[in-house]
Amino acid sequence: IGEMYSMAGAFDSAMTWYDRTIKITPENPQVYIDIAYLHARRNDMVKAEFYLNEALKRDPNGPARELLRRLMASKTGR
């Protein structure tokens, strides 16, 4: 549901759902990736980076690794 709100641009409603999901499944890295995506859409790259790092803590070899690499590359222009 959070992802649907995010895609519709209803970021506050999306965060409400993501916060609920984190309380239920705090070790699910995908939730943190979804939140990072939401913040990236809002051009808040600091928060996007934070949440990608949270996902990486939960799944060090998961997709957050590549997403974080891309985010860092976009910040440095590489």
Model pLDDT, residue 24: 96
Model pLDDT, residue 36: 95
Q: Which residue has the tokens 């990736």?
A: 33
Cα angle for residues 7, 46, 5 (degrees, 5° grid): 15
CATH of the domain at 40: 1.25.40.10
For 23-40, the pLDDT digits (tens) are 999 999 999 999 999 999
- Residue 55 belongs to domain spanning: 2-76
Please, are residues 22 and 30 in contact by the beta-carbon 8 Å criterion?
no
Number of structural domains found in the chain: 1
- Report the alpha-carbon distance of residue 73 to residue 4 in Å, rounded: 28
pTM for this predicted structure: 0.86
